[in-house]
Amino acid sequence: MTLPGMIARRSMEAVATLAIIAALLFGGVELIPGDPARTILGQNVTEEAVANLRIALRLDQPVYQRFFDWAAGAAHGDLGKSLLSGRPVGPDFAWRAKNTLFLAGYAALLSLPLAIALGLIAALYRDRLMDRTISLFSLATISFPEFFVGYVLLSVLAMDLGWFPVLSTVDPDMGFWERLHRCFLPAVTLSCLVGAYVLRITRATITSVLERPYIEMAELKGVSRLSLVFRHALINAIGPIANVVALALAYMIVGIVVTEVVFTYPGLGQWMVDSVAKHDMNVILACGLSFGATYVVLNLLADVAAVVANPRMRHPR
C-alpha cells in the first residue's frame, strides 16, 4: 500500500475510534454510582435544587439523546458549555491544552535525545561499567513514583537551593523564558519517568539488532563502530523506537495529573479529574477525546516513521 493510502485509511479508522471513545466516555460517566445531581450538591440540599440541577444537567433526557445532541454540536466545532459553571468549554480547553502540550514538548526535548543517546551508548558498551551505570540509573528512575521524584526536586532545587520556583502556575501573559524557568521542574520530573523507559527500549532494540548476522558481516568488512551503529543498526531499530517515543509522548500528554498537582500546573489532567468528580460531561468529553486523539495521531506518526525508515514495509509481499 502507498504511504498516502495508508494515512487516508488510518485517518478514517481514527474517526471511528474517536466516536467509540466518545460513546464509552458517555457510558462510563453513566456508570458512576449515585445520582449525579445529588453527588454534585453534596449533603445539605433541598429536593428542589436537586430537581433543578437534574434539568440543567439534562439528566431528565435519555442518555442517547444527550449523546447525539453533543455529537451534532461537536461536529460543528462547538464543544458546548461547562454544565456547572456555564463557561464555554472551547477557550478553557484551548488554554489548558496549550499548557499540557508545552510541558510535554519541553519534557520531550529534555529527555528524548538524551535517552536515545544513552540507550545507544549502553548498547554499544553492553555489560561494561558504562552500561551498568546507565541501567542502574534508568531502573531507579522508572521505579520511583512521579510524586516522589517531584518532591525530591522541589525539596532540593526549589527549597534548599532556591534555583526554581515551587509553583509552576503559568499565566497566559507570561514570557517564554520565564515559562521555561517555571516549568523546568515538572518537565524534569516527566523526563525522568519517560526518558528512562525510552532509554531501556532503545538499548534493548539496538542490542538485538547488533546480534544479527548482517552486523557481524559489516564488522568483518571493517566498518567503523560509529558507522555500524548509525548506518546499520539504528536505521533498522527506528520502528520500535518510534513506537516507544510515541507512547512516551502520549503519556506525557494524558498521564500527568500527579505531576500537575505536585507542581500546581494548570493542564488538562486536573481539569478532567475535577470534571469527572462533578459529572461535567462536556468537559469530560473534550478532555477524553483529545487524549484519545493524542494516542491515535501519535501511533499513526510512529507507523509512518517506521514505514519511511524501512522500505520493505512499503511493498508488502
Partner 1 sequence: MTQMEWNRRSLLQAGGAGLMIAGLPGLAAAQTPKRGGKLRIGLGGGQTTNTLDQTSPTFASPNERTVNYTLFNTLVEIDPDGKAIPELAESWTIDPGAKRWVFNLRRGVQFHNGKKMTADDVVFSLRRHSAPGSRSGAQGMLRDLESITKIDSHKVEILHKTGSLDVHFLMSDYHLSIVPDAQTESNGVGTGPYVLQSWEPGVRFRGTRNPNYWKADRAFADEVEIIVVNDDLARLSALQSGEVDVINRLDPRTVRLVEAAPTLKASIAHGYGYYTVNMRTQVEPFNNPDLRLAFKHLVNRQELLDRILRGYGSLGNDHPVSSKLPFFASSLPQREPDLDKARFHFRKSGHSGAIPLHTSPAVFSSAIDMAVLLQAQAAPIGMEITVQREPPDGYWGNIWMKKPFHMSYWTGRITTDIMLSTGYSGTAAWNETQWVNPHFDEVLAQARTEFDETRRAGLYAEAQSMIRDDGGVMIPLFNSFIDAARKAVGGNLIAPNMELAGGRIAERAWLG
Interface with partner 1 by CB under 8 A: which residues? 32-35, 38-46, 48-49, 52-53, 55-56, 82, 84-87, 151, 154-155, 158-159, 162, 165-167, 169, 171, 261-264, 266, 270-271, 274-275, 277-278, 280
Question: Residue 130 in 3-state DSSP?
Answer: helix
Shortest Å, Cβ 284 to partner 1: 11
- Nearest residue (CB) to partner 1, 13 versus 171: 171
Q: Are 146 and 259 in contact (CB under 8 A)?
A: yes
Closest residue by Cα to residue 3 from 309, 235, 317, 298: 309
Dihedral angle of Cα 109, 111, 113, 114, to the nearest 10 degrees = 140
Shortest Å, Cβ 100 to partner 1: 13
Shortest Å, Cβ 254 to partner 1: 17
Q: Which residues contact 189 (CB under 8 A, 6 or more apart)?
A: 146, 149, 150, 153, 259, 262, 263
Q: Are 199 and 112 in contact (CB under 8 A)?
A: no
Other C-beta atoms lying within 10 Å of the C-beta of residue 53: 19
Closest residue by Cα to residue 267 from 244, 246, 291: 291
- Nearest residue (CB) to partner 1, 4 versus 42: 42
Shortest Å, Cβ 62 to partner 1: 21
CA distances from 316 to 10, 204, 206, 307, 310 (A): 17, 26, 24, 11, 11
Q: Are 186 and 150 in contact (CB under 8 A)?
A: yes
Shortest Å, Cβ 39 to partner 1: 6
Shortest Å, Cβ 205 to partner 1: 37
- Nearest residue (CB) to partner 1, 82 versus 111: 82
- Nearest residue (CB) to partner 1, 202 versus 275: 275
Shortest Å, Cβ 137 to partner 1: 25
Question: Residue 88 in 3-state DSSP?
Answer: strand
CA–CA–CA angle 270, 273, 276 (5° rounding): 150
Shortest Å, Cβ 215 to partner 1: 49
- Nearest residue (CB) to partner 1, 151 versus 230: 151
Q: What is the DSSP string of 192-236?
A: HHHHHHHHHHHHHHHHHHHTSHHHHHHHHHT--HHHIIIIIIIHH
- Nearest residue (CB) to partner 1, 49 versus 117: 49
- Nearest residue (CB) to partner 1, 11 versus 155: 155
- Nearest residue (CB) to partner 1, 163 versus 214: 163
